[in-house]
A and B are shown apart, each in its own frame.
Chain A
């Protein structure tokens, strides 16, 4: 009995201590109250960290310049970190956002990563008529079918990054066509064979359907099969063995989960004689090289930020981010653009009133690190030459370099793009075979 009581006492004391130290101390604010921005993301994971980093950089820049001019007063920006835990529990994400709105009294929200978490989160934000700038989820239906169908409710919703999934698909097919040409020349192939390796999730379903249709027709290649491992598969040897047996020259990947690392690593270690291009979110991180022990060399993925001059703002942002956080910015770091866009809209509206700010956000035409950001009638970021195009990056001997848009694509010339490299083992294997 005594033991129990003392143990309980220790527990209670421990918890109190933890709570006491964890509580944020209130700061006495001088001057006008700051504008509170909630940054919602899975903070224990890289995506959430980059939500935070991107916003942090923008906040520092804006505050260093004196803050946001709202009517007659200059107001500083205060960021509120919202750990949505959305990777594990969408319900938790919605509750976290509601707490930020009603308890922490945030004025605006941005972030979001996993679509199933973003849906409930944005519903809560719409309930409270708070502007939510999506930075991290590509699903078309987050805006399509919402902003157009029920404008009054969903007009507070905007997407800054990444481009919508159908546009992601367009970029991938451009790249696939480009690599197809290179492979035909280098290996003397008539019809390169393509295998699709895509995690079993809904977001890539439409892309796979499009790929199945386009690869044999417009791209003039042969599709040898579609493999769908789980997004968290820890072993894809069986899939890779089957793909090699099918004689594929190109593996078209569409993966966002950790399977991307497993895949790239085993692809290199087993020396599978096929090039790998498409989407591999894990390959967008600098940690990819170590995580795959270098076996991910030559893996090529769609990306948002890279060592390339998309506009004059890209490299300064990229370099500063890498220097400060030791990571290259993931697409969720688009909170950087989002915060700048939002601040500009608030200044133009001269008020924090959500409806007025929405009207100004719709007029956004922003010269940014990813290109020119203009929202379309769905409040989605516009894709295309002259707007945001997205880029493709390839791992080349430990460096993450940009290989697309190749110079001249749609008249674009991004400075710093290098040429795509076929892994030497692929060339050797196929040229050796044909002898």
Chain B
């Protein structure tokens, strides 16, 4: 165990930083219990799951989903309605929300997976907007623009909510990371790179793409249910186009096809947006400008950019090494200058 920690975990700067960040967040309430700080981290944790679930679908299987808020919103509404109308406890409603999101993923996925590239993206964009139409068409049931409010709290106190959300985030993100690391993840990856070749190898790609939709929907749905119970309201803003795009902003900013990239993206951008409150008038302007400039110079996102600089790949065995090392930690080959091409290439059009 200790050997694993020193031999695998602590050898790379990004892993050290990641571990320190997790421990730091877990220990944060020892330093401050300011409800505002806890609130920001709690929301960031929930939204991190949402962003990572977009990455699971789009980053890995390459199906660009522009309407990811659909899963989040459907689950939030499901949780809210079950909690309010039937009085179910948040535990049950969040799970039910996740299940409902999977169902919706099937309903959307089955017809849409015939579509390719931008057509799929723009078709997915349509669903949350159509659902918003439905919500306004049955205001008595869905609460129209006011949403469904007055839900049970996620947990009794802010501190408990904090640990619940943080814990859920760590578990769910780890689960997603494991999925992408498994055989399933490799197939998703392969579909993104060359769907025809995968089909030629005898794999039913449609079934796997549908599976990616459902898994992504499940995680987004769990996040949506938690979000509704934390804010104690589910409203049409959760289905807005901008809400879907937020997940994409965080993911691209953090680094696509990594799962942990979106988490980093949320934990940087969400607090930044909070800090920018001091410059009230130009808050969104500063935010947009920052995203624009950073992505202009780090199109791969911040995590791959850092990894590439701090952890060059060994020219022979391709394992990553801390930039301080002269020779590879695995095979002992001398490390050359870092190659100029970025470490992880995203799919080009």
Contacts and interface: CB of A to CB of B under 8 A. Distances in A.
Contacts of A102: 34-36
A91 interface: yes
A337 interface: no
Contact of A88 (B242, B282, B293): B242
Interface stretch (B12-20, B22-30, B196-204, B229-237): B229-237
Nearest to B227: A91
A201 B237 CA distance: 14
Given A102-B34, A202-B145, A18 B235 contact: no
Given A8-B297, A91-B43, A119-B233, A202 B146 contact: yes
Interface string B216-242: 000000000000000111011100001
A23 B278 contact: yes
A431 interface: no
B139 to A, nearest CB: 4
A294 to B, nearest CB: 31
Contacts of B144: 201-203, 205
A29 interface: no
A414 to B, nearest CB: 33
Contacts of B235: 90, 116
B277 A120 contact: no
Contact of B35 (A83, A89, A98): A98
Contacts of A83: 277, 280, 283
Nearest to A83: B280
A94 B231 contact: yes
Contact of A120 (B233, B280, B283, B290): B233
A255 to B, nearest CB: 13
Given A90-B235, A205-B144, A19 B275 contact: yes
Contact of A103 (B36, B242, B293): B36
A97 B36 CA distance: 9
A107 interface: no
Nearest to B272: A15
Q: Which of B40, B231, B281 has the most CB of A within 10 A?
A: B231
Contacts of A43: 280
A101 B278 CA distance: 15
Contacts, number: 100
Contact of A203 (B145, B149, B290): B145
Interface in B273-320: 274-275, 277-283, 286, 290, 293-294, 296-298
A99 B279 contact: no
Contacts of B275: 19
A95 B147 contact: no
Contacts of B297: 3-4, 7-8
A201 B43 contact: no
A96 interface: yes
A123 interface: yes
A144 to B, nearest CB: 12
Contact of B231 (A18, A115, A120, A128): A120
Given A11-B294, A90-B237, A91-B231, A203 B146 contact: yes
Given A91-B231, A95-B43, A102-B36, A116 B146 contact: yes
A432 interface: no
Contacts of B283: 83
B146 A96 contact: no
A96 B39 CA distance: 11
A121 to B, nearest CB: 10
A189 to B, nearest CB: 34
Given A15-B286, A23-B278, A90 B34 contact: no
A271 B280 CA distance: 43
Interface string B37-76: 0011001000000000000000000000000000000000
B291 to A, nearest CB: 11
Contacts of B274: 95, 99
Nearest to B246: A89
A421 interface: no
Interface size class of B (residues with CB under 8 A): 35 or more
B278 A22 contact: yes
A19 B276 CA distance: 8
A43 B281 CA distance: 9
B337 to A, nearest CB: 12
B220 to A, nearest CB: 16
Interface size class of A (residues with CB under 8 A): 35 or more
Contacts of A203: 144-146
A158 to B, nearest CB: 19
A139 interface: yes
A116 B279 contact: no
A123 B35 CA distance: 14
A81 interface: yes
Contact of B277 (A88, A99, A200): A99
Interface in A83-135: 83, 88-91, 94-96, 98-99, 101-103, 115-116, 119-120, 123, 127-128
Interface in B136-159: 136, 139, 143-147, 149-150
Contact of A99 (B36, B149, B231, B233): B36
A98 B237 CA distance: 20
Interface string A406-423: 000000000000000000
Nearest to A200: B136
Q: Which of A43, A98, A141 has the most CB of B within 10 A?
A: A98
Interface string A1-34: 0011001100100010011001110000000000
A358 B231 CA distance: 25
Interface in B238-289: 242, 274-275, 277-283, 286
Contacts of A44: 281
A89 B47 CA distance: 14
B293 A120 contact: no
A116 B293 contact: no
A19 B145 contact: no
B270 to A, nearest CB: 10
Nearest to A89: B237
A64 B150 CA distance: 41
B146 A115 contact: yes
Nearest to A8: B297
B49 to A, nearest CB: 15
Contact of A95 (B39, B136, B294, B296): B39
B34 A103 contact: yes
Nearest to A122: B149
Nearest to B278: A22
Given A94-B231, A128-B35, 14 more contacts: A19-B275, A81-B280, A90-B235, A90-B237, A91-B231, A95-B40, A99-B274, A116-B237, A120-B231, A120-B233, A123-B232, A200-B136, A201-B144, A202-B139
Ordered nearest first, which 9 A-B pairs have the shortest CB separation?
Answer: A202-B144, A22-B279, A102-B36, A119-B149, A202-B139, A116-B235, A4-B297, A83-B280, A22-B278
Interface of B: 34-36, 39-40, 43, 136, 139, 143-147, 149-150, 231-233, 235-237, 242, 274-275, 277-283, 286, 290, 293-294, 296-298
10 contacts: A4-B298, A19-B279, A24-B278, A43-B280, A102-B36, A116-B236, A119-B146, A119-B149, A202-B139, A205-B144
